[in-house]
Structure 1
């Protein structure tokens, strides 16, 4: 009877202890409600990005894996299309489901810190800081059908899993196993979502060493090995599944053709050639192509297309006349693939990759024999270095750093959609979501809903533009607290393993952030004729020295480059039907 009388008091005490959970849930619901004001920004002619993901998702939903094979079928990882297909099956609005995934990642990040026995306000601070990340409700790109809707939560989950594993180093095997599996699975999915996911490997290697090394000493060595093998198996499972399905349907065992050695070698061989004038943003100049035609019969098959309509459509029209057909490095890989398809070599994956191997072998042989001026052997898509790149990057660094904390130009309202009814129909059909008004498509005016959405967007705009100073203050306070803690440990001549792990997490995160921001700046400054309007993300290198503080969430640069009025910027790649590298 005493137990019965005490149970309500026990429940009330539990509610008081976990008050922050209810506040966090209320914040998550509020954000979901606000984001329903954001329709999808549909770009009907983005055949290499938004529309491609939707077509692949429709094929998956129809039970045909990625559909009929062509030059775009295996161009990008299938994880995001599979996610869109699953959401289509569930019948939920796509933006709603994408935000649910991010909220779940935020919650697991807080859960990973549980062994620290943080106060409720600290847990709420961690969750709220991640939740209100303006990256997740920016209107220009986060309302598009692009892969960052998964790469952001996957990256957060990878870090959370490693932190959760490290903080449970003194727990049993069963307590640590879920975190090891989560780490492996999310890392595997992340790798299959974007082709340039190598930026995360530095942080993963650093944190993995810190998370597993204390467990590899003494009698725990066997259990640590089992955890590592479990993580490896979880990471390999998505890769093997996708590669097996690709082999079954297309005759090639691999996740994406951008990972295929044949294609990477062929592109690298073309970039080797150094003939005629060298331009900062052109990896394979027209002069180089003309020289390659004479030494590679395989590449010569592409001449009618690269020097014809395909080359004209992809040519840079800002620094050159389009008739010159000088194709920027960021677009040449797509022009190259389109030309191979037009030449009839995409009947199967094996035939396409064999053709790329022929080009690689013929061009490399000519370069090695001195029949054509060339750089050293290359493979992959990194553009050749040009002296002008250094000045461009130096000019971009201050802008990038300023933009990392300047949200004054933040805008959550998506642009008008692009396309006719036929072009945007697939967006409505597969996403189960609204799209922003398209001038060339049918639009039904809903006045009451429009007024409500406008009020929600005003609130999101205010939040996005005013959160920068708060995040900056939080970062500064975290570093001050870390310094004070460091002084305390030095004076007491003590060693704190959680503090050491936090410092390691900061170092790993800082290294990955620098490589990410550097690669973003390098790509925009070396592969495009002008800095692209795609706003670069900054996975902040600000952290956490203190175990109670997470790394600051990713942030974006919102402004166009100084001195570049809107009228002087080239049309966006999306509006020209070109890939957004997303």
Structure 2
């Protein structure tokens, strides 16, 4: 899609996947590519700026800036921001953490400046609105942040009205407070309009905003006769829906075949059923294979007819299907008896998972794209390098001379001096000229250039020089960290060095990977303890409200902490529901938005309580 944007074709030709996900990720990818920047470097930069903005928002609340530096450091080095499933992948969840921090920071700044000149809040309202829109159009489950946005907006407006400013000032401040939500609505309208012009349907996303979502809700509203865990659309239910929906019946052979295929993607492969996390994909594949995805309007009309036919059957009192309640989102399968206790239990599991940073790690791995062309396309788009799993050849080009011995030949060897690849020495007049008066033997022929065939060997490799008697003269470790060296015994220079079998994963990258994981381990070990301490600090700040004469700052801090805490709970609840009702969802890439909120809650709660304690001691 990013390639299509770069070619001026919006999201490209219409297919079953074109409008199934948000447009912001390909837009951002194309923008970064046009600037000629590295994707990974830009993601790091954006997250760093997000951390700075969040700390800037907290500045009026914390007197001791050294304490804010601690919070900044804790949030900045969040292990999920350099982990394999988020940052190391070209994946949309990698931007979520920055989006969350910026939205919270902007809302906080607007709240705290509600009594100041309007102009001081306009920029932050615009930034917050754009970021909120980007979050909404990055993932289809961005609705979890809306409770915070609605409550924060309502509280701020009420306080503005209570302040009893002039009518003009009050209206201006209310407009600024509403601006993020207005920008979200306006931004989605713009995306809908562009999609209408390009594809013929007025939708920003087919999952949440189209006849497909209507069809999914209608399908979910049909009560199944069998109760199968994580399966709301059973085979027997599909058979009954065929009888009331001629349109759905028209894709029967394709849907049956598609469900057979998708059955093997869920947690009970071979049982003939498709779990809810995969059913909508199987339905879309079936409709696509039937030919309805020739254009967006035709596909949308198909789903509209399915929804209308099922609803009509309900209204006419059909005895074939029975209606059941559905959830607000088409992504959520119907509620079942016993879910409440399961959700509570699963949320406890998620809390433990997040606080221990389970599965969060940095890795040195090969690209998992299926073809070299696929990898190259991602390299071109992201301006980052990949390691090709099918191209394990190593390559070396450079020169070497010995000042002590006459060199007969050089070779690439292992640590035991076993030859992996013998190097052919070539004419090197440039090296001889460089060495000048030293008159080093064989300096006129000391260059080499070799491709080292891929093999199962994954150990350290060396450039080893030998005498005529096969005696080892020097063994130089091959490493991109040291591309040249001059000693009393020898001098060498590697013009180019690529050690695909060990270098990327076990060579010069390994120290950086280990360093990142060492930082991550600190979070893993201290996560639970720091969270418990932060909850105690949160409660202490709440109790201090009763005794403290000047309550405004503490009230603000408590509102922020409560917003962070409750938003995290909402996100946990959504993931927990999906885990028990749909498919395996307890993965840090789906929970990525929670980690900065948890760290921000912990940091602010602890340092504010510490300030209260220091102030109390000073007064004593």
Q: Contact 1:262/1:357 (CA < 8 Å) preserved in 2?
A: yes
Structure 1 partner of 2:38: 93
Aligned-pair CA distance for 1:123: 2.5
- 1:430 and 2:398 correspond: no
Q: Among 494, 507, 531, which residue is 2:562 paired with? A: 507
Structure 1 partner of 2:372: 421
Once residues 263 and 273 of structure 1 are traced to their aligned partners in structure 2, the CA distance between those partners, rounded to angstroms, is 16
Unmatched 5+ residue regions in structure 2? 395-497, 610-620
Structure 1 partner of 2:515: 459
Summarize the alignment of residues 264-283 of structure 1 with structure 2, pairs less than 5 Å apart.
Answer: 264-283=213-232
Once residues 390 and 225 of structure 1 are traced to their aligned partners in structure 2, the CA distance between those partners, rounded to angstroms, is 38
Q: Contact 2:535/2:605 (CA < 8 Å) preserved in 1?
A: no
Structure 2 partner of 1:468: 524
Q: Contact 2:266/2:274 (CA < 8 Å) preserved in 1?
A: no
Once residues 398 and 480 of structure 1 are traced to their aligned partners in structure 2, the CA distance between those partners, rounded to angstroms, is 19
Higher relative contact order, chain-length normalized (CA < 8 Å, sep 6+)? 1
- 1:371 and 2:319 correspond: yes
- 1:289 and 2:345 correspond: no
The alpha-carbon distance between structure 1 residues 349 and 408, as it changes in their structure 2 partners (threshold 3 A), is closer
Q: Among 275, 281, 284, which residue is 1:337 paired with? A: 284
Q: Among 335, 339, 356, which residue is 1:406 paired with? A: 356
Q: Contact 2:356/2:527 (CA < 8 Å) preserved in 1?
A: no
For residues 102-145 of structure 1, give each alpha carbon's deviation from its aligned partner in whole angstroms, at most 9, with x where no partner exists. Answer: 11111111122233363331231121111011111121343222
Q: Contact 2:107/2:152 (CA < 8 Å) preserved in 1?
A: yes
Q: Contact 1:70/1:346 (CA < 8 Å) preserved in 2?
A: yes
* Matched residues, number: 492
Q: Contact 2:367/2:389 (CA < 8 Å) preserved in 1?
A: yes
Aligned-pair CA distance for 1:61: 0.8
- 1:110 and 2:58 correspond: no
Structure 2 partner of 1:223: 172
Per the normalisation by structure 1, the TM-score is 0.77
Summarize the alignment of residues 321-400 of structure 1 with structure 2, pairs less than 5 Å apart.
Answer: 322=270, 325-368=272-315, 369-376=317-324, 378=326, 380-387=330-337, 389=339, 393=343, 396-400=346-350
Summarize the alignment of residues 426-575 of structure 1 with structure 2, pairs less than 5 Å apart.
Answer: 426-439=377-390, 445-446=499-500, 451-492=507-548, 494-528=549-583, 537=591, 538-539=594-595, 543=601, 549=607
Greater gyration radius: 2
Matched residue SS, 2:294: coil
Aligned-pair CA distance for 1:94: 1.1
Matched residue SS, 1:315: helix
Q: Among 145, 160, 166, which residue is 2:90 paired with? A: 145
Q: Contact 1:412/1:457 (CA < 8 Å) preserved in 2?
A: yes
Once residues 391 and 503 of structure 2 are traced to their aligned partners in structure 1, the CA distance between those partners, rounded to angstroms, is 23
Aligned-pair CA distance for 1:146: 1.9
For residues 256-294 of structure 1, give each alpha carbon's deviation from its aligned partner in whole angstroms, at most 9, with x where no partner exists. Answer: 111224211211111222344221111211111111112
Once residues 281 and 236 of structure 1 are traced to their aligned partners in structure 2, the CA distance between those partners, rounded to angstroms, is 33
Q: Contact 1:408/1:465 (CA < 8 Å) preserved in 2?
A: no
Structure 2 partner of 1:191: 136
For residues 555-575 of structure 1, give each alpha carbon's deviation from its aligned partner in whole angstroms, at most 9, with x where no partner exists. Answer: xxxxxxxxxxxxxxxxxxxxx
Q: Contact 1:243/1:254 (CA < 8 Å) preserved in 2?
A: yes
Q: Contact 2:153/2:177 (CA < 8 Å) preserved in 1?
A: no
The alpha-carbon distance between structure 1 residues 117 and 487, as it changes in their structure 2 partners (threshold 3 A), is closer
For residues 218-267 of structure 1, give each alpha carbon's deviation from its aligned partner in whole angstroms, at most 9, with x where no partner exists. Answer: 12413313313544443344323322221211122221111224211211
The alpha-carbon distance between structure 1 residues 442 and 518, as it changes in their structure 2 partners (threshold 3 A), is farther
Once residues 603 and 526 of structure 2 are traced to their aligned partners in structure 1, the CA distance between those partners, rounded to angstroms, is 18
Q: Among 311, 315, 322, which residue is 2:259 paired with? A: 311
Q: Among 151, 156, 161, which residue is 1:206 paired with? A: 151
Summarize the alignment of residues 158-169 of structure 1 with structure 2, pairs less than 5 Å apart.
Answer: 158-169=103-114
- 1:254 and 2:199 correspond: no
Once residues 545 and 340 of structure 2 are traced to their aligned partners in structure 1, the CA distance between those partners, rounded to angstroms, is 42
Aligned-pair CA distance for 1:200: 0.4
For residues 187-218 of structure 1, give each alpha carbon's deviation from its aligned partner in whole angstroms, at most 9, with x where no partner exists. Answer: 12211111111110111122223334322331
Matched residue SS, 1:465: helix
Once residues 262 and 119 of structure 1 are traced to their aligned partners in structure 2, the CA distance between those partners, rounded to angstroms, is 54
Of 465-474 and 411-420, the range deviating more from structure 2: 465-474
Per the normalisation by structure 2, the TM-score is 0.73
Counting helix residues as a fraction of each chain, which structure ranks higher?
1
The alpha-carbon distance between structure 1 residues 235 and 401, as it changes in their structure 2 partners (threshold 3 A), is closer
Once residues 156 and 361 of structure 2 are traced to their aligned partners in structure 1, the CA distance between those partners, rounded to angstroms, is 39
RMSD: 2.9
Q: Contact 1:273/1:367 (CA < 8 Å) preserved in 2?
A: no
Matched residue SS, 1:257: coil
